[in-house]
Amino acid sequence: MGQYLPIVTLMLLGIVFGMLSLLASKLLGPKRPSAAKEAPYECGIVPSREPPERFPVSFYIVAMLFIMFDIEIIFVYPYAVSRGELGAYGFWAVLIFSVVFFITFVYEVARGGLDWGPVQQYRSLQSEANMVSPTRSIDSTIRRVGTEGRQVEPGETTKQPAA
Q: Domain for residue 22, yes or no?
A: no
pLDDT at 42: 66
> DSSP characters for 103-127?
HHHHHHHHHTTT--SPPP----HHH
Q: Are 108 and 69 in contact (CB under 8 A)?
A: no
Say how many residues make up the chain.
163
State how far the Cα of 160 lies from the Cα of 144, in Å rounded to an integer.
8
pLDDT at 87: 87
Q: Domain for residue 163, yes or no?
A: no
Q: Which domain holds residue 67?
A: 55-113
pLDDT at 39: 72
Q: Domain for residue 157, yes or no?
A: no
pLDDT at 137: 67
Residue pLDDT tens, the chain, 163 long? 789 999 999 999 999 999 999 999 989 988 888 877 777 766 766 666 666 666 667 778 788 888 888 888 888 888 888 888 888 888 898 899 889 888 988 888 787 777 766 655 555 556 556 666 667 666 666 666 666 666 666 665 555 555 4
pLDDT at 163: 47
Q: Domain for residue 26, yes or no?
A: no
Domain count, the chain: 1
CA torsion 108→114→118→120, rounded to 10°?
-40
Q: Domain for residue 144, yes or no?
A: no
Q: Domain for residue 35, yes or no?
A: no
